[in-house]
Structure 1
Amino acid sequence: MFYRWLIIIILIISGFSQAQQAPNISIGEEEVSEPEQAIAVSPLAKDNEIQSRISEIMAATGWYKQINVKVDDGIVFLDGLTDSDEHRQWARNLASKTQDVVAVVNRIKIDGTPNWNLRPALIEIQHLLYKFIAALPIIVLTIIVLPLAWFIAKYIYRLFHHIFSRQLASGLLADIMAKAVAIPTFLLGVYIVLQVAGLTNIAVSIIGGAGILGIVIGFAFRDIAENFLASLLLSLRHPFTSGDLIAVADQLGIVQSMNTRNTVLLSNEGNLIQIPNSIVFKNIITNYTASSSQRETIELGIGYDASISDTQTLIMSVLLEHSAILQEPKPLVLVDSLGAATVNMKIYYWFNGHSFAKAKVRSAILRLLKRRLMEEGVTMPDDAREVIFPDGVPVLFASEITSMSTHQPVTTTDDNQIQQPATEVDIQVTDSEGNLTNERQELEAAAESQRTDDSDNLLKD
């Protein structure tokens, strides 16, 4: 019930609002419009004066053909041809707004024949010419300001590029920083031109649009932008350079290059590893060649029957006699713990990581330690183990062993003979260990054919 009354009220209000308007009533091809002003009882303008005035105005426009205007008791009858409905409506509005017009009967028809009148086109061209002349000062200002802003930005770029090139090791990073300073200068010139031209809204829209566009691009290319910013920060921090041996994100290799996207490592297997700069920046970087001196640790266990101090002296002599071991910092031989079957010791020594390979030096030291300790009778027993005999272990008393020995002769076989320990050569380097030198040059030479273009290498001097 409520909705029914609501619909009735809406219909009444809409009908009342339509009744307040002055509609145009179409009868056939005639369009009759009611007067837009109150009808005077004693009109001041005569019919012939109204007819003459409307005819002169319509003829002056040049939009109508075969114009015939007739006025009878304030009612205007319009006849003729025109090329558009807009001109037809314009004639009706002209007549209805004329003084003492009671009603307008618009019988003007739209001419379907092609219009070869070039006057509208000439008028439009004239308007464009006037607009061009009015905008000529702004155009001249634009021609002056924009090139000036461009040359100033270019000069600022060269100036800051020279400054940053002296402070930053990477030429690409210096170029990016210089452009970051120069580009706002040119944008300022563009903003000044738009502001002087009165296009403040456009200038604000451009700035706001640039900000929104930057946000959209940032979300769309988040990984690319993240890697780019990480490359800049890594170039500023300079945690490594080309040729350094680093470990990052569970990868170990020699740094080959770093561009705006990733860092390239050469692994010990000769493979090129590309790690995104964002991962490199977020992870812990271990640089093994930032300092030439590197320390290595060897764990060794000796028997309890051996003298610890004498063993330390023997081990120290082996380390100091080796040419790959640095004298400073001095090697250390320390007791680490007392195990179940051995005295566990830790051996610390330093070597030149740029010249010698870590694995080769370790192999040579272990080989020489084993030889020297065995020569001096220092035992190196295995860790204590629990041995289980499922059938038990037979126990013989001394008397039983004596009686058995009287009846059965003791014989020895080759398996029961005491074996002598193998001898070791007393040389610092064997053929299988190579020359202890670092294999970095061999790796880089093997990967030379796989190396990518380093024109945008941020680590390039």
Structure 2
Amino acid sequence: MMFNSAYFIDLVEKWSDIIFIYLIKIVLAALVIAVTYYFGKKIRYLYEVKSKNYFAERHHLNKFITFCLSFSFMIVGYFIAIHILGLEGLLTQLLASAGVIGIVIGFATKETTANFFSGILINIQVPFKVGDWVTINGQYGQVKQIGSLLTIIMTVEGQNVYIPNQLIYTGNVVNYSSSGKRMAIVSTGVSYGDDLDKVKNVVMDCVPQIEGVITESEDELFLPRLFFTNIGSSTYNFELRIWINFESHNQYMKAINDGIVLLKKRFEEEDICIAYEVTTLDFGVKGGVNLYDKPISFSEVISQNKDTNVVSNNADIISKPSDIMMDKKV
């Protein structure tokens, strides 16, 4: 077979044209990707500068938005580059395969995905921020970090609690720092013989001396209040409810401590009795047996308890109530 040089030259020229065209397309595609990457990075930087103050307490949301901005520019660049290279068909096949793989991965990582998007929603709605004192799913403490998947709070005992964001978003959250105020309650009781009006006046007179207490407010909800709540077995019980300017748990505990110390001091000065619970022991089947009228015999006690292993040969009978270290009231 004779070698056809003209055919070979034509074939080389044809492949040269194809390679040259694809080289140009590759260069253009690379240039498009580089330009979109540059603009994406530039816009990301400008956004971070502009949003620095607004997202000072929401780092996770800020990072997510900046990532979405730069990623969007890169995706646009890649699609343009693929169109320049004429690889739309290959892209379609890859996306179809990726869709199936994505479904499998989605089922395997659904909890992680749920926590991630819950973290985004938490940062958008901002039910709390870093430094706030909250109760989340029964855990009370200060928010230390709001992460992509977990939120960390530190309890008053100094322990870190890691809570998945999904549980936070679907659960109940109590934020004690949102209003900058918190109610503190001091509970105690006074004896039956005390004048309740006098008690109320003395207690309310102590309120302004409590550090951080709110004594004036346009909203009556935040004004100090005293309520007699119930009649106990030996006391009139009451609650002193005050609102304080709240920043930390120690500040809250100090307000309660100050209230207790001030009330004790003033009650002693005003001769107001903080009564204690009294328990009366009645001996006998029907009760009403007076220990001063009936002597107690240890021999009788031993004879009534036949199953006991204690044996007494000479049981002394105490005939005087003064011989027993016992009171009817405990």
Match of 2:18 among 105, 123, 134: 134
The whole-number CA distance in structure 1 between the counterparts of 2:257 and 2:127 is 31
Pairs within 5 Å for 1:346-385? 346-354=239-247, 357-383=251-277
Aligned residue in 2 for 1:335? 228
The corresponding residue for 1:23 is none
Q: Distance in 1 between matches of 2:213 and 2:74?
A: 61
Deviations 1:301-326 (A, max 9, x none): 22333221111001111222334433
Secondary structure of the residue aligned to 2:106 is: helix
Change (3 A) 1:202 1:129: farther
Deviations 1:99-153 (A, max 9, x none): xxxxxxxxxxxxxxxxxxxxxxxx9xx9899656424313312311332233124
CA deviations on 1:54-77 (whole Å, 9 max, x unpaired) are xxxxxx399xxxxxxxxxxxxxxx
Amino acid at match of 1:209: S
Closer/same/farther in 2, CA of residues 127 and 383 from structure 1, 3 Å limit = farther
User: Does the Cα contact within 8 Å between 1:165 and 1:174 map onto a contact in 2?
Assistant: no
8 A Cα contact 2:181 2:245, kept in partner:
yes
Provide the C-alpha distance between the structure 1 equivalents of 2:38 and 2:102, rounded to a whole number of angstroms.
Answer: 24
- My pick for the range that moved more, 312-321 or 144-153, is 144-153
Aligned length: 281
RMSD across aligned positions (CA): 3.7
| 1:163-188 CA distance string (max 9 Å, x none) | 36534414564343233234344334
Q: Which segments of 5 or more consecutive residues in structure 2 lack a partner in the other structure?
A: 217-221, 292-321
1:212 aligns with 2:100: yes
- Residue in 2 that maps onto 1:393: 288
Partners of 2:184 and 2:255 within 8 A in 1: no
Equivalent residue number for residue 163 of structure 1: 47
Report SS of the residue matched to 2:144.
strand
Identity of aligned residues (%): 19
- Equivalents in 2 of 1:298, 1:388: separation in Å? 34
Q: Is the 8 A contact 1:227 1:277 kept in 2?
A: yes
User: What letter matches 2:30 in structure 1?
Assistant: L
**Alignment check: 8 A CA contact 2:224 2:242 kept:** yes
CA deviation after TM superposition for structure 1 residue 374, in Å: 4.0
Instruction: Say whether 1:200 aligns with 2:88.
Output: yes
Q: Say whether the 8 Å CA contact 1:254–1:265 is kept in structure 2.
A: yes
CA–CA distance in 2 between the matches of 1:349 and 1:193?
A: 67
Change (3 A) 1:177 1:131: farther
Q: 1:300 to 1:151 in 2, by over 3 A?
A: same
Structure 2: distance between partners of 1:395 and 1:225: 74
Q: Compute the displacement of 1:262 (Å).
A: 2.0
Distance 2:268 2:283 in 1: 32
- TM (normalized to structure 2)? 0.70
2:213 match: 325
Counterpart secondary structure, 2:25 = helix
2:132·2:143 contact (CA, 8 Å) conserved in 1? Answer: yes
Deviations 1:219-263 (A, max 9, x none): 222233233222222222233333222221222222222232322
> Of the two, which has the highest radius of gyration?
1
| TM-score of the superposed pair, with normalisation by structure 1 | 0.52
Give the conservation status (yes or no) of the 8 Å contact 1:149–1:185. Answer: no
Structure 1 regions of 5+ residues with no counterpart?
Answer: 1-59, 63-122, 397-411, 417-461
User: 1:148 and 1:134 mapped to 2: Cα distance?
Assistant: 21
Shift of 1:298: 2.1
8 A Cα contact 1:246 1:255, kept in partner:
yes
